[in-house]
């Protein structure tokens, strides 16, 4: 079964770390990604740029509007994701608990909805 592990964290907690600590966290993250590939759990992973680089797109009554950044104020933001293949939710939780950024924020584990072959 596929699960999306969304990596949520407070950017100020990351910014408060020294360059050495950030570098070490990056190395831990890349190492964990390699471990997930070796174990067969990894499907795909990406880190996201800061919310300040984002835009929000909405379509209402046929009109498209684009605004800078996220719509709501929040301390934690989506910093990246890892799409995994796990045997069940417990396996997915175990994988998520190993993500190094879980120490700074939260990992939301969500099953991927599978549409039938007719779509």
pLDDT, one tens digit per residue, over 6-49 is 999 988 888 899 999 999 999 999 999 999 999 999 999 999 98
Two tokens, residue 10: 């407070």
Q: Quote the pTM value.
A: 0.85
Q: How many CB atoms lie within 10 A of CB 32?
A: 18
The per-residue pLDDT for 45 is 95
Q: How many CB atoms lie within 10 A of CB 45?
A: 19
Domain boundaries, the chain: 2-111
Measured in whole angstroms, the distance separating CA 32 from the mean position of its chain's CA atoms is: 14
Topology (CATH level 3) of domain 2-111: Alpha-Beta Plaits (3.30.70)
């Amino acid at each position: 079964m596929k699960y999306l592990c969304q990596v949520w964290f407070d950017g100020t907690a990351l910014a408060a770390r020294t360059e050495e600590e950030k570098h070490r966290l990056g190395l831990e993250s890349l190492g964990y990604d390699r471990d997930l590939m070796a174990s067969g759990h990894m499907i795909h992973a990406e880190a996201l740029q800061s919310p300040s680089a984002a835009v929000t797109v909405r379509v209402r009554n046929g009109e498209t509007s684009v605004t800078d950044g996220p719509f709501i104020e929040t301390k934690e933001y989506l910093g990246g994701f890892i799409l995994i293949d796990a045997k069940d939710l417990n396996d997915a939780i175990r994988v998520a608990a190993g993500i190094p950024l879980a120490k700074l924020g939260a990992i939301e584990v969500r099953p991927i909805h599978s549409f039938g072959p007719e779509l």
